[in-house]
Chains A and B, each alone.
Chain A
């Protein structure tokens, strides 16, 4: 095992020292976790034009408040049912 630097989060991690001689994606060669590996592969595919970048959803302040409120409402309703 050799130490590498994750190309997504920059964290040091133990990478596999055996070579990969196929064009399959082996996340441990480039990233510290599956999640970072997925992000790196996505970035590579976008940079090579293999996939289109996903549009980043704009989260407005109103939407954030609504989401929080709805969660609170659901939680209080559930609490009320348990009490009853």
Chain B
């Protein structure tokens, strides 16, 4: 005989994970949840009779939103919030800045610069020992006053003969190619929907540990969220609205709460 779980009263002791799926496709798992809130609401208006006495209540506009904060940035959640997918690239361009030192009229940068041929570096900033900008140089085909060249094969910048002493610092800002995963927040794409499963642990009044899973069949994520970078930890907030939908399979449910034993 299967044991029937007695769960009249239970208190949640721990949020384990929040998982997002698109059908059978796993989108993300938030396993460092700082907080989660399922807000439920409905509007009710009184049905009144003689002398304003209440005869009943008219209830409507029931809604559910789920919101929370992940302690770490989730790529899958981010992709859902901006409505795009990650792509992997061997040649993803990133902007890179570095200070290099001139020796013998030349300086070598760390990575191959990409960009319009003959304009890969574009500008070079000669600086003094206090990082104060002294001179702005432009990339060109030949060196001359105010001009420098770049040789891609050797990643070498060449400066006008004798213009700068050895040890002079030059700052350059350029694009270099990296291998990475890229997500774009396109203005024509919008946040998506998924099925959410919130897994938690709870205890009943006798101290017996139970597992709880709250399923939100259709969670429509908001594209409004802040990635705040400050002197504090950067967290990943999210908010979604549960949709009842008109699909019969959803049965008009905003969420389903299941309590079960570990065994």
Residues of A within 8 A of B (CB): 5, 7, 19-26, 29-30, 40-41, 43-48
Contacts and interface: CB of A to CB of B under 8 A. Distances in A.
Given A29-B119, A29-B122, A43-B118, 13 more contacts: A7-B138, A19-B175, A20-B115, A21-B115, A21-B175, A22-B114, A25-B118, A26-B116, A29-B115, A43-B141, A44-B117, A46-B141, A47-B149
Interface of B: 93, 95, 114-120, 122, 138, 140-142, 149, 151-153, 175
A67 B136 CA distance: 47
Contacts of B151: 48
Which 9 pairs across A and B sit closest by C-beta, in order of nearness? Answer: A21-B93, A43-B141, A44-B118, A29-B116, A25-B117, A47-B141, A26-B116, A20-B116, A29-B119
Nearest to B176: A21
Contact of B114 (A23, A30, A41, A48): A23
B68 to A, nearest CB: 36
Most buried by A among B116, B118, B175: B116
Nearest to A45: B117
A40 B115 contact: no
Nearest to A47: B141
Contacts of B117: 23-25, 41, 44-45
A21 B120 CA distance: 9
Main secondary structure of the interface of A (DSSP, over half): loop
Contact of A47 (B120, B122, B138, B142): B142
Nearest to A28: B116
Nearest to A48: B151
B233 to A, nearest CB: 31
A48 B152 contact: yes
Contacts of A26: 116
A66 B186 CA distance: 63
A24 B91 CA distance: 14
Contacts of B95: 19
B173 to A, nearest CB: 10
A19 B121 CA distance: 12
A54 to B, nearest CB: 15
A48 to B, nearest CB: 6
Nearest to B92: A21
